Amino acid sequence: MTLILDWPRHFIRKGNSAAKTICAILNLPPPPVKFERYNDILLHSLIKVSSESMRNAVGNTVKNNNSNRNITAAFDGSWQKRGHTSLNGVVSITCLETGKVLDFECLSKYCFKCKNRNNEDHMCEKIS
């Protein structure tokens, strides 16, 4: 149940207050206080599924293109806010023939892990 509440909470960006409201509406017990412990589980699952999906999309596109790796693709990017104040953005590569996403990258000028604690295993991908 916690992962079911945690996944949409990330997308609406409202935190525990939204999860409490959803639980109250659905007549469920309140959510656990610490959602953060489930973030890594959710992150690793999403990375695994999306990587496999994009790998399959590239493979199928190359196969449908007579094993030719020259694929026509569209590159697009966006920042969370307009102007130069945004800290988060995303870039995607989409196949023009199939419309499938071949790759994407989330960009950030800020890293919570670097800010909050020194993590030896953390490889920061923050952009400068």
| Chain segment 34-65, per-residue pLDDT in tens | 766 777 788 888 899 999 999 999 999 999 98
Torsion sign across C-alpha atoms 26, 31, 36, 39: negative
* Residue 14 pLDDT level (bands cut at 50, 70, 90): low
Residue reference for tokens 């199928």: 60
Q: How many Å apart are CA 101 and CA 93, to the nearest integer?
A: 6
Spatial CB neighbours of 21, under 8 Å, sequence gap ≥ 6: none
Decide which of 61 and 15 is more confident: 61
Decide which of 3 and 65 is more confident: 65
Question: Is 1 a residue whose pLDDT tops 70?
Answer: no
Q: What share of the chain is helix, strand, coil (3-state, %, to 5)?
A: 45, 20, 40
> CA geometry: angle at 8 spanning 85 and 122, to 5°?
60
Q: How many Å apart are CA 58 and CA 67, to the nearest integer?
A: 11
Q: How many Å apart are CA 105 and CA 62, to the nearest integer?
A: 21
**For the chain, what is the mean pLDDT?**
79
Q: Is the pTM of this model over 0.75?
A: no
